[in-house]
Amino acid sequence: MIIDWFTVGAQVLNFLVLVWLLKRFLYQPILNAIDKREKRIAESLADAANSKAQAAAERDRLQGKHDAFDKERADLLAKAVEAAQTERKRLIDAAHKAAEDLSDKQRKALASDAKALSAEISRRAETEVFAIARKALTDMADASLEERMSERFIAKLSELKGSAKTTLAKMLESTKEPVVLRSAFDLPSKQKAAIQKAITETFKHKIDLTFETAPEVVSGIEMMVGGQKLAWSLSDYLKSLESSVSALMKPDSMKESKVAHEGRS
Q: How far is the CB of 46 from another protein (least distance, A)?
A: 17
- In the shown chain, the binding pattern of residues 34 to 63 toward another protein, with x for contact by CB under 8 A and - for none, equals x-xx--x-----------------------
37 or 79: CB nearest another protein: 37
Q: How far is the CB of 44 from another protein (least distance, A)?
A: 10
* Dist CA 180 CA 203 (whole Å): 16
- In the shown chain, the binding pattern of residues 163 to 182 toward another protein, with x for contact by CB under 8 A and - for none, equals --------------------
Q: Kindly provide the b/e burial profile for residues 138-170, where b requires at least 16 CB atoms within 10 angstroms of the residue's own CB.
A: eeebeeebbeebbeebbeebeeeeeeeeeebbe
The residues pairing with 222 across neighbouring beta strands, listed in sequence order, are 182, 231
Contact 125, 245 (CB under 8 A): yes
The residues pairing with 221 across neighbouring beta strands, listed in sequence order, are 183, 232
3 or 261: CB nearest another protein: 3
Q: How far is the CB of 48 from another protein (least distance, A)?
A: 15
Burial class (CB in 10 A: 0-12, 13-18, 19+), 195: buried
- In the shown chain, the binding pattern of residues 10 to 29 toward another protein, with x for contact by CB under 8 A and - for none, equals xxx-xxxxxxxxxx-xxx-x
20 or 69: CB nearest another protein: 20
Q: How far is the CB of 16 from another protein (least distance, A)?
A: 7
Q: How far is the CB of 29 from another protein (least distance, A)?
A: 4
Contact 176, 208 (CB under 8 A): no
For residues 200-229, which are near another protein according to CB under 8 A?
none
Among 7-15, 77-85, 165-173, 200-208, the segment contacting another protein (CB under 8 A): 7-15
DSSP label at residue 25: I
Q: How far is the CB of 45 from another protein (least distance, A)?
A: 14
Going by C-alpha positions, the residue among 221, 228, 232 that lies closest to residue 170 is: 228
Q: State whether residue 231 is helix, strand or coil.
A: strand
Among 32-40, 154-162, 200-208, 256-264, the segment contacting another protein (CB under 8 A): 32-40
* Dist CA 71 CA 142 (whole Å): 104
Q: Is 31 in the site for another protein (CB under 8 A)?
A: yes
Crossing angle of the two packed helices 189-203 and 143-158, in degrees rounded to 10 = 0
For residues 120-159, which are near another protein according to CB under 8 A?
none
Which residues of this protein are in contact with another protein, per CB under 8 A? Answer: 2-12, 14-23, 25-27, 29-34, 36-37, 40
